[in-house]
Amino acid sequence: MISPTTVSTQAFSGQKPGTSGLRKKVKEFSEPHYLENFIQSTFNVIGNCLGKSLVVGGDGRYYNREAIQTIIKMAIGNGFSQLIIGQKGILSTPAASCLIRKHNTDGGIILSASHNPAGPEEDFGIKYNGSNGGPASESVTDAIYQQTMSLTEYLTVDIDALDLNTIGETVVGDCRIHIIDSVSDYAQLMASIFDFPKIAQYLQDSDHPICFDAMHAVTGPYAVEILENRLGAAQGSVINGIPLDDFGGGHPDPNLVHAKELVQNMSGDSALVFGAASDGDGDRNMVLGNNFYVNPCDSLAMLVANAHVVPGYKEGLAGVARSMPTSRALDRVAQALGIDCYETPTGWKFFGNLMDAGKMTICGEESFGTGSSHVREKDGLWAVLFWLNVIAEYGDMEQIAKNHWLTYGRDYFSRHDFENVDATQAGKLMADLRANLHEFPRQRFAGLIVERADDFEYTDPIDGSVSANQGIRVFFDNGSRVIFRLSGTGTVGATLRIYYDCYEQDADKLDLEPQQALREVIAAAQAVAKVKYYTDRTEPDVIT
């Protein structure tokens, strides 16, 4: 027993978790007591930590190791009896979720700001996941926030920094600390879901070279072990595979803009048959065919439509789910399969209850997140392996996609991000939309007539909790839809996200360029939200 030290502190304002945990600049996080306050608040909400267990790890970004040392001391001070920590402090978000579930811990702390840039001048983040392995629900994150505003002291112990590099077990006082291989439990889980022999056979054929861009973020070691070592993809198939604490100065957001190197590798006379990239903490994915892009909404629908080829899903799916701004391509597949399709607010925390209740197996978001009930987080490599399993069965990705559109029709989709907009102006834009919503129906905007409009509100079918104000939806009479919401993951200014989709069944119009197919609804959206008036912008910073 080591007696804990009580440190007095004062509350911090602004520690309200967003879409996915608390994200701030490293400078702010490393202010005296800042991290400690958030951790103690989390422990207070967990309550009675004596004898409890935690998984701890992060995406390897700057400040990861320092934060882990602080968390270890505070966990011991608060009475935790077991900590499971990834070697060198590395755990991808899905791997952390896997460990919480596999070792039945009381939860986990994941240190990540996902796709946000990393480094001393950039972002850090922290997220608490519960015993089901999933992000804490809104009621829990709200309770943590309440604590952060009234905290007066925290508990810690005065011990030397722990060696995070060496796999093994250390006992400190009453706490057993395991430093574990970051990859092996996760790799084993993947092998239990997918047809590894089939994928291996496909990848070991020299006609099937692939490229996986880990973008110097957390997925490198996972991708090398699974794709190269276990499945026999050629060495060098994984690029940018070494996690760096500044992500090599890049922005590990797996999209056509930020995954430039991968996109280049897949273009022109490239011989590669499949390409993929993941984000900072390994929970997202972008998949590409040779000179071919599949948007994440379609990817989700196509995986569900082909799930029967994957051993882990051959018994069928309980149901599926998508976040609200994600296109309705998934709904069409669910209908054909005769299973339920749930529509949740943005953010993974809303999927967990449906999975825990056995109502839903596969889900995803338009933001390159796809996952299933094998863990309670979105999972980048899982989606990559899923695609490889489907391709190993049916061949060319472009053909799979085109057949899908012929069967179900095509939901053209795009998201426009207006980044670093003045937060007050962005707030006004949203307030204006909210105030005028009820007057939109039957009005004409740039040629399209509004059928209905609302502010999305979600009632959790399992616990009845209500999440209001989740985004303004405007439906037009030609079947197209636009959604407006503000990002909840940024750290400077505001990011306005506008999501567009429209549906096409005409076999001659399934090959349009998405911005072209969506041009009417894009123009209507500008008019509906007065984007130029409020933000002085006409062109988005990022188009996905």
109-120: b (≥16 Cβ within 10 Å) or e: bbbbbbbbbbbe
Residue 158 C-beta: closest distance to Co ion, Å: 34
Based on CB atoms, which residue is closest to Co ion, 283 or 365? 283
Residue 254 C-beta: closest distance to Co ion, Å: 9
Q: Which of 15, 489, 535, 544 binds ligand VG1 (CB under 6 A)?
A: 489
Backbone φ and ψ for 486, nearest 5 degrees, come out as -100, 140
Q: Which of 4, 12, 15, 19 binds ligand VG1 (CB under 6 A)?
A: 19
C-alpha distance from residue 344 to each of 50, 325, 398, 471 (Å): 35, 9, 29, 11
Decide if 79 contacts 130 (C-beta within 8 A): no
114 is catalytic: yes
Amino acid symbol at 433 = L
Residue of minimal Cβ distance to ligand VG1 = 114
Residue 265 C-beta: closest distance to ligand VG1, Å: 23
- Residues 53, 114, 182, 367: which is the catalytic one? 114
Query: Does residue 63 bind ligand VG1 (CB under 6 A)?
Result: no
Backbone φ and ψ for 112, nearest 5 degrees, come out as -165, 145
Query: Does residue 370 bind ligand VG1 (CB under 6 A)?
Result: no
Residue 20 C-beta: closest distance to ligand VG1, Å: 4
Residue 283 C-beta: closest distance to Co ion, Å: 4
- Rounded CA separation 209/232 (Å): 11
Q: Tell me the DSSP string of 274-289.
A: EEEEE-TTS-BEEEEE
Query: Does residue 253 bind Co ion (CB under 5 A)?
Result: no
Half-sphere exposure of 63 (CA within 13 A, CB side): 24
Of 27-35, 62-70, 283-291, 452-460: span binding Co ion (CB under 5 A): 283-291
Give the dihedral sign, CA 512/514/519/524.
positive
Give the dihedral sign, CA 514/518/523/529.
negative
Instruction: Choose among Co ion, ligand VG1, none what residue 487 binds, the Cβ cut-off being 5 to 8 Å by kind.
Output: ligand VG1
Query: Does residue 488 bind ligand VG1 (CB under 6 A)?
Result: yes
Based on CB atoms, which residue is closest to Co ion, 228 or 365? 365
Q: Tell me the DSSP string of 75-113.
A: HHHTT--EEEEEEEEE--HHHHHHHHHHTT-S-EEEE--
Residues 273-312 that bind ligand VG1 (CB under 6 A): 279, 283-284
Residue 37 C-beta: closest distance to Co ion, Å: 24
Q: Which of 195, 281, 331, 501 binds Co ion (CB under 5 A)?
A: 281
27, with CB counted inside 10 A (0-12, 13-18, 19+), is middle
Half-sphere exposure of 508 (CA within 13 A, CB side): 0
Instruction: Choose among Co ion, ligand VG1, none what residue 473 binds, the Cβ cut-off being 5 to 8 Å by kind.
Output: none
Residues 79-138 that bind Co ion (CB under 5 A): 114
Decide if 92 contacts 219 (C-beta within 8 A): yes
Instruction: Choose among Co ion, ligand VG1, none what residue 488 binds, the Cβ cut-off being 5 to 8 Å by kind.
Output: ligand VG1
Query: Does residue 137 bind ligand VG1 (CB under 6 A)?
Result: no
Query: Does residue 97 bind ligand VG1 (CB under 6 A)?
Result: no
Q: Which residue has the tokens 């991000």?
A: 417
Q: Which of 182, 285, 367, 480 binds ligand VG1 (CB under 6 A)?
A: 367
Residue 537 C-beta: closest distance to Co ion, Å: 26
Q: Which active-site residues does the annotation give? A: 114
- Chain residues binding Co ion by CB under 5 A are 114, 279, 281, 283
Residues that bind ligand VG1 (CB under 6 A): 19-20, 114-115, 279, 283-284, 323, 346-348, 365, 367, 369, 487-489, 497
